Amino acid sequence: MASQGVTVAINSDDGEMSRRLNQEAGKTVKYGGMSEEEAWKMVTINPAKLLHIDDRVGSIKEGKEADLVLWNAHPLSVYAKAEKTIIQGTTYFDLEQDMDLRESIKKERAKLVKMMVAEKDGGGKTKRPTQSKKERFNCDSL
């Protein structure tokens, strides 16, 4: 369809697939003979054109709203990993911050385990884990 001038877009209602639309576009390059630029347009500007909002989103241009992902490899590659995600000017994910957070969690866990072992070795009683039930709400809850 794209080779005949039709504006083609890839979308998904599935949460898992929508996170990997870049890879779906990559498949059109490998299996459909599409150019990388045209494949990338299928997940950026073309959906915006079809929704008639391409004057506001779909490409990086001064004055447009931009949600960006910075990749560590070619964005159409299955090996590409997101290093930074910026949505409406706010950084939602940063790989460097994530690595720092993981390290601090690792240190905190080691500290807690050390405290528990010391308590047990000092003669403290062990406690069985308890489950805290969270109330589930629905339309009739109120």
Indicate the pTM of the whole model: 0.67
pLDDT of 122: 85
Residue 134 confidence class, pLDDT cut points 50, 70, 90: confident
Residue 38 confidence class, pLDDT cut points 50, 70, 90: very high
pLDDT of 114: 94
Cβ contacts of residue 76 below 8 Å, gap of 6+? 22, 23, 25, 26, 29, 36, 39, 40
pLDDT tens, 51-100? 999 999 999 888 898 889 999 999 999 999 999 999 888 999 999 999 99
E strand map for 56-117: 68-71, 82-87, 90-94
Domain boundaries, the chain: 2-96
* Mean pLDDT, range 17-42, rounded to an integer: 92
pLDDT of 49: 95
Largest CA distance in the chain: 78
Helix (H) or strand (E) segment spanning residue 103: helix 95-121
For residue 49, count CB atoms less than 10 angstroms from its CB and return exposed for 0-12, middle for 13-18, buried for 19 or more: middle
pLDDT of 142: 64
* Mean pLDDT, range 29-50, rounded to an integer: 94
